Amino acid sequence: MIVAKLLAATIIQPKQDGDFSPNDTSFSNLLFVAVAMVLLTRSSLDLISEANKFSIGSADIGIGAPINALMIGVSFLLILANYKILPLRDFVAWFAFLALCIFGSVETTQPINVARSVLALLSSLCVFIIPFCLIKGTRDVRRLIDLILLSSLIPTCVGLLQIIANLGDGDFRLQSTFSHPNIFAFYIVVVMAALMFKWSSVHFTPNHFRRFAYIFYFGVLGVLLIYTKTRTAWFGAGVLFTVFALFIDRRAIPLLFVIPFLALLEPGVRDRLLDVASETEYIGDGVIINSLEWRKVLWRSAFVWIEERPFFGHGGLNSFLQYSPRFFSLEERGVPAHSVYVRLLFEIGILGLIFFVGIFVQALWRLSQMARSDWNGVVIGITLCVSYLAFCFADNMLYYGPFNWYFLFFLGIVLAAGRVPVRRGAGLLRPRWQQQVPIPSPAYGRRRRVWAPSFLHSNEQLR
């Protein structure tokens, strides 16, 4: 019912300033509905896609491939309708990275797998571009952020049911509707960032009831994140919330001490943190080794090959998975690199790594230019972007298609929102705790305006 109301409001609502209507046509609204339906359901289809794959040559194809193709087609139509307003220079790093991936994979012996990987990367770029096509005003920013939050309802409900069904199981890791707990954990971090954006951005003015709902849902997401037992996502969520508390809303600072204490009361959290230094987590080929040491052995073995061809790589996309049995003795089958940076160095060389990092350096630069118009939104966008680069250090982020969609969609929303003029007085141009507030002057008894943290003064002084 909520989804129907959102879509109906988009199509039927009369034109007002800031409404979504790229060309004021029903066809443009129909494209938005297509985007909305895909994004609302993609988070719920990952496990189904993995469970229902069919083989084409040496590659296994699921329903994710047709969904990627659909998103590419819809975004292509949106780009044609809005190409005059698109900031193409913001996508230069993306175009260079995609071109290098394609040309660097010309000599591959697995063309179907390479084509699937290129299709996934292209769909990620399209999801990133879509907000630039759809956002014409503040109301569009709100609707697109709502899409991310609404997409989390089904995974959240399924996750809660899985927790109830597995209470007491010490080895249980929550994955909800996703194919792996890590993907669900990183997706939760993006949803948390979207909630923080709704809480603090100049494009939103939530009332007290909505703020209470945001706090409640944030707590539910925190519980789900704990049960995924994904340490990297815990770190990312912790950094995100710490930055939010220190730079956006200092009323949350006490929670920086309360939340870790409550989390450590859960035995699974303590065990998972202690497992980093243990020697019982991974058992492979008769060798007992923890996950961190296993990654180090894998990376050292891969760098022997990387040093042989540092500039051109070893055959393009997916070659690491193909060649890893030759240099990694702990596994008989191919294993992913467990690091985006190691994978890119191995597959397409140093230039591939530089272009990939360049995508986010360019995004960070654009975000820094928006700080004057929406400080809070920029802080959240920068923190999530830097966290993603940290995730890439020790995980297979490029394989997590659904998560990449929602992360890049959110990043695109934040960047596109910076191009929307904000009404004077619609929000704060500085952090809430750095507002210019009137303080009575003790020397002359007059009211003067100084820069001071607003939470130090009473509501009466702030009026």
State whether the Cα torsion 366-368-374-378 is positive or negative: positive
Cα–Cα distance for residue pair 428/432, rounded to 1 Å: 7
Partners of 282 in the beta sheet?
289
HEC secondary structure over 154-195 = HHHHHHHHHHHHCCCCCCCCCCCCCCCHHHHHHHHHHHHHHH
- The reported pLDDT for the residue numbered 13 is 43
Calculate mean pLDDT across residues 83-91.
87
Question: Within 13 A of 91's CA, how many CA atoms are on the CB side?
Answer: 21
Give residues with Cβ within 8 angstroms of 375, minimum separation 6: 428, 429, 430, 431
State whether the Cα torsion 86-402-105-396 is positive or negative: positive
- The reported pLDDT for the residue numbered 456 is 36
Residue type, 268: G
End-to-end alpha carbon distance in the chain: 40
Q: Which of 385, 170, 202 is nearest to 268 (CA)?
A: 170
pLDDT beyond 90 at 393: yes
Share of the chain above pLDDT 90, in %: 51
Give residue limits of the domains in the chain: 2-417, 435-462
Give residues with Cβ within 8 angstroms of 80, minimum separation 6: none
Cα–Cα distance for residue pair 255/237, rounded to 1 Å: 13
Tell me the per-residue pLDDT of 49-65, one tens digit each, with 9 for 90 and over.
776 666 665 566 667 77
**Length of the chain in residues, anyone?**
463
* Residue 450 DSSP code: E
- Residue at token pair 């409900």: 157
Please, are residues 39 and 29 in contact by the beta-carbon 8 Å criterion?
Answer: no
The pair phi, psi for residue 342, each rounded to 5°, is -65, -40
DSSP string across 9-60: HHHHSPP-TT---SSSSHHHHHHHHHHHHHHHHHHHHHHHHHHS-EEETTEE
Res. 15 pLDDT band, cuts 50 70 90: very low
pLDDT beyond 60 at 106: yes
Q: Which of 454, 457, 462, 458 is nearest to 435 (CA)?
A: 454
Please, are residues 12 and 34 in contact by the beta-carbon 8 Å criterion?
Answer: no
Residue 278 buriedness (CB in 10 A; 0-12 / 13-18 / 19+): middle
Tell me the per-residue pLDDT of 247-281, one tens digit each, with 9 for 90 and over.
999 999 999 999 888 888 877 777 777 766 565 54
pLDDT beyond 90 at 414: yes
- List own/partner pairs for 263-271 with CB under 8 A and 24 or more apart: 263/226, 266/226, 267/170, 268/170, 268/172, 268/226, 268/227, 268/229, 269/226, 269/229, 271/170
Cα–Cα distance for residue pair 379/375, rounded to 1 Å: 6
Q: What is the dihedral of CA 387, 206, 42, 30, to 10 degrees?
A: -130
pLDDT beyond 90 at 461: no
Cα–Cα distance for residue pair 279/50, rounded to 1 Å: 31
Partners of 56 in the beta sheet?
59
Please, are residues 76 and 126 in contact by the beta-carbon 8 Å criterion?
Answer: yes
- What would the two tokens of residue 259 be? 């939340």
Residue type, 174: L
Cα–Cα distance for residue pair 161/409, rounded to 1 Å: 28
Res. 127 pLDDT band, cuts 50 70 90: very high
Please, are residues 44 and 154 in contact by the beta-carbon 8 Å criterion?
Answer: yes
Give residues with Cβ within 8 angstroms of 372, minimum separation 6: 429
Tell me the per-residue pLDDT of 63-79, one tens digit each, with 9 for 90 and over.
777 888 889 999 999 99
Partners of 283 in the beta sheet?
288
Cα–Cα distance for residue pair 274/252, rounded to 1 Å: 28
Tell me the per-residue pLDDT of 178-211, one tens digit each, with 9 for 90 and over.
989 999 999 999 999 999 999 999 999 888 999 9
Of 283 and 110, the one with more pLDDT: 110
> String of b and e for 84-117 (b: at least 16 CB within 10 Å)?
eeeeeebbebbebbbebbbebbeebebebbbbbb
SS3 state at 222: helix
Partners of 447 in the beta sheet?
440
